[in-house]
Amino acid sequence: MSSEASTRAADTRAEARALSAAATTAGYAPSIHNTQPWRWSVSGDELDLYLDHSRALDVTDPDSRLAIVSCGAALNHALVSLTADGWDAVIARMPNPDHPDHLARLRVDRRIPVSLEARRRRQTVELRHTDRRPIVGTPIDADKLDAIVAAVESAGAGLHLLHPDQVYDLASAADQAQRAEAEDLAWQKEVTYWTGGTRPLSSGIPDAAIPDEVTRTTVPGRDFGYLGQLPVSGEHEDAAAFAILYGPEDGEADWLRAGEALSAAWLTAIELGLSVLPLSATIEVAVTRERMRGLLSGLGRPHLVLRFTTGDPASTAAPHTPRLPEAQVIERF
């Protein structure tokens, strides 16, 4: 074999390894109720992402909007991994109009220098987790929020930071959404299926990640219908910032982009010492989704509400949720 051919063969092997590692990294992504509604296929120099309907939430998320947002977060995690391995990638989003569940195809394009920031970001992926505790901290510096807005914009979406009076509108809409959901027996059954001791193996939300008492927050957190085992302080959270993640339209491609931006925002926030809680109840219920649209005043269509708080260095980290074995979510050819 000529030296040129052997370099090419080595490059091909390195590309395949990087794509495989990207699919592994993507498994750390956040997802609605930790459903992990994605399936990856690694083959040659391509990595394909599919929506797995068998893990979508038929009652809470009938259009799969939040499942696709979750897949978008996984896609951004995959990209973080490739960048940390020194590869630039080309992404085709919704590459097959006849198969809307085929959400993206990634191909490695060329070698790029590896920066310390890129390596750090891949480590941040493993640190990230959802923290449902009300954190009593100092207000968040404006420059940190600006950095998060910039991260969202560079991922192709927008982030509208709510003014204090809009936070009361959000709180009232979140309350309305949670009441509507709690009255629906099918919704209760679904949330019970995905939480606590009844959840499927290696997915769902364990009791250890659900507050052990009703949290004192202006905007109510997700009502799981019961109390878990996550110790929370009884103090009122007063220094959180709330924002609406939005995009120009309200279709699958926009939800995917919103998920990519969610990941970019969340990883940036962690690196700035902040913690993040997605709040999706107002997006799940059509009437409150319209109220969120109203808060955007024509900027775009709402895809998710986010709460940012200053991380509390004195408190221990909330536990990580489990993940499905790779064999269940990654096909390697």
Ligand X SMILES: Cc1cc2nc3c(=O)[nH]c(=O)nc-3n(C[C@H](O)[C@H](O)[C@H](O)COP(=O)(O)O)c2cc1C
Contacts with ligand X by CB under 6 A lie at 30-34, 66, 69-70, 73, 129-130, 132, 205, 221-222, 278-281, 304, 320-321
Cβ distance to ligand X smaller for residue 126 or 141: 126
Cβ distance to ligand X smaller for residue 102 or 307: 307
Q: Which residue has the tokens 């929506």?
A: 51
Q: How far is the CB of 277 from ligand X (least distance, A)?
A: 6
State the pairing for strand pair 330-332/301-310. Answer: unpaired
Report the alpha-carbon distance of residue 280 to residue 238 in Å, rounded. 20
Q: How far is the CB of 283 from ligand X (least distance, A)?
A: 8
Report the C-alpha dihedral over residues 80, 251, 149, 308, rounded to 10 degrees: -90
Cβ distance to ligand X smaller for residue 32 or 106: 32
DSSP 133: S
Q: How far is the CB of 23 from ligand X (least distance, A)?
A: 17
* DSSP 3-state of 86: coil
Report the alpha-carbon distance of residue 22 to residue 267 in Å, rounded. 16
Q: How far is the CB of 162 from ligand X (least distance, A)?
A: 16
**DSSP H/E element including 107:** strand 102-111
Q: How far is the CB of 228 from ligand X (least distance, A)?
A: 11
Report the alpha-carbon distance of residue 287 to residue 305 in Å, rounded. 15
Cβ distance to ligand X smaller for residue 87 or 187: 187
DSSP 198: G
Q: Per DSSP, what are the bridge partners of residue 93?
A: 104
State the pairing for strand pair 330-332/38-43. Answer: parallel
Helix axis angle for 252-271 and 116-127, nearest 10°, is 100
Q: How far is the CB of 87 from ligand X (least distance, A)?
A: 25
* DSSP 3-state of 184: coil
Q: How far is the CB of 286 from ligand X (least distance, A)?
A: 16
Q: How far is the CB of 181 from ligand X (least distance, A)?
A: 10
Question: What is the rounded end-to-end Cα distance, in angstroms, of the chain?
Answer: 25
* DSSP 3-state of 14: helix
CB-nearest residue to ligand X: 30
Cβ distance to ligand X smaller for residue 114 or 127: 127
**DSSP H/E element including 47:** strand 46-51
Cβ distance to ligand X smaller for residue 18 or 37: 37
Cβ distance to ligand X smaller for residue 18 or 79: 79
Cβ distance to ligand X smaller for residue 71 or 108: 71
